[in-house]
Amino acid sequence: MKQIFPKEIMDSTSEVHQFKHGKKSQVIYSIILTAIVICLVTTI
């Protein structure tokens, strides 16, 4: 089976990014993002 896209393009897709960064990274990102939003809301 022939590949449509080169390997370089396939390595930079969002699916590969999500696979490389596990659930732990997503939890930390969510906590930081929530903290920033709370800080912004409380200062208004």
Give Cβ neighbours of residue 3 (< 8 Å, ≥ 6 apart): 10
Secondary structure of the chain in HEC code, one letter for each residue: CCCCCCHHHHCCCHHHHHHHCCHHHHHHHHHHHHHHHHHHHHHC
Tens digit of each residue's pLDDT (9 = 90 or more) over 22-31: 777 788 889 9
What's the mean per-residue pLDDT of the chain? Answer: 80
pLDDT over 70 (residue 41) = yes
- Give the global pTM: 0.52
Give the pLDDT of residue 1: 58
Phi, psi of 5 (to 5 degrees): -105, 145
pLDDT score at 19:
73
| Residue of 13 and 43 predicted with greater confidence | 43
| Angle 2-11-28 from CA coordinates, rounded to 5° | 145
